[in-house]
């Protein structure tokens, strides 16, 4: 007779699986990212909202937003907008349900990808953040790895650091 695994065993398995996935994503600093883009045909996947991307982004970057503005006007979505507005956020967002589909249309599974957002987050644990600091780019990198992408890197320091360092920038406005 086979017994189902205990809840504790499932939690341990899921933590190990998550740790294994994290190990498949390497962080690179902004200057290394620029070098990889120029010399090794890496693509920068900018996961910020489309408006931020159009304002300024690294030259050659591709935009697929991981979160989008709330689109619908159902009672639930109006309540969500009101909740965001209560905290002074007048452009509330939700997960982009077409994120992976859009990435797959633009990049194949063997593409060399550096995932970037504004802040970058970090996978390095600290005393206050034992799991690191979550960010849009780390979430996106994790989704890419889960969906079979094998050359996934993460931009440490994010695009804020990229622009602060005076690295090349382009815009669509």
Per-residue pLDDT of the chain (173 residues; tens, 9 = 90+): 445 555 666 666 555 555 545 557 899 999 999 999 999 999 999 999 999 999 999 999 999 999 877 777 788 777 877 776 777 766 767 789 999 999 999 999 999 999 999 998 888 878 888 887 889 999 999 999 999 999 999 999 999 999 999 999 999 86
Give 102's contacts (C-beta < 8 A, 6+ positions apart): 64, 96
* Domain residue limits, the chain: 24-164
Q: Which among 66, 64, 159 has a CA at the least distance from the CA of 121?
A: 159
Question: What pLDDT, on the 0 to 100 scale, is given for residue 74?
Answer: 81
Phi, psi of 17, deg, nearest 5: -65, -45
Nearest to 103 by CA among 68, 134, 53, 66: 66
Q: Which residues are designated catalytic?
A: 117
End-to-end CA gap in the chain: 65
The alpha helices in the chain, defined as continuous H runs, are: 7-23, 30-40, 50-55, 75-86, 99-106, 136-146, 158-164
Topology (CATH level 3) of domain 24-164:
Oxidized Rhodanese; domain 1 (3.40.250)
Q: Which two tokens stand for residue 64?
A: 């697929």
Q: What is the pLDDT of residue 164?
A: 96
- Residue 94 has a pLDDT of 77
Distance, CA of 137 to CA of 65 (rounded, Å): 10
pLDDT tens digits for range 64-91:
999 877 777 788 777 877 776 777 766 7
The per-residue pLDDT for 107 is 98
> What number of other Cβ atoms are within 10 A of residue 139's Cβ?
18
Q: Give the pLDDT confidence score for residue 116 in this predicted structure.
A: 97
Q: Cα–Cα distance between 4 and 120 in angstroms, integer?
A: 39
């Amino acid at each position: 007779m086979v017994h189902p695994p205990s809840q504790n065993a499932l939690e341990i398995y899921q933590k190990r699986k998550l740790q294994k996935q994290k190990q498949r994503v390497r962080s690179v600093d902004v200057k290394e990212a620029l070098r990889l883009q120029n010399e090794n045909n890496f693509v920068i996947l900018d996961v910020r909202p489309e408006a931020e991307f159009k304002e300024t982004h690294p030259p050659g970057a591709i935009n697929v937003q991981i979160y989008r503005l709330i689109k619908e006007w159902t009672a639930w979505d109006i309540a969500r907008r009101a909740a965001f507005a209560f905290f002074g956020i007048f452009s509330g967002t939700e997960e982009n349900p077409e994120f992976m589909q859009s990435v797959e249309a633009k990049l194949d599974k063997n593409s060399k990808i550096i995932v970037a957002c504004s802040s970058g987050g970090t996978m390095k644990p600290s005393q206050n953040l034992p799991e690191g600091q979550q960010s849009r780019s780390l979430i996106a990198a994790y989704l890419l790895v889960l969906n079979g992408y094998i050359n996934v890197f993460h931009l440490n320091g994010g695009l804020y650091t990229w622009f602060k360092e005076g690295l090349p920038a382009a815009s669509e406005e």
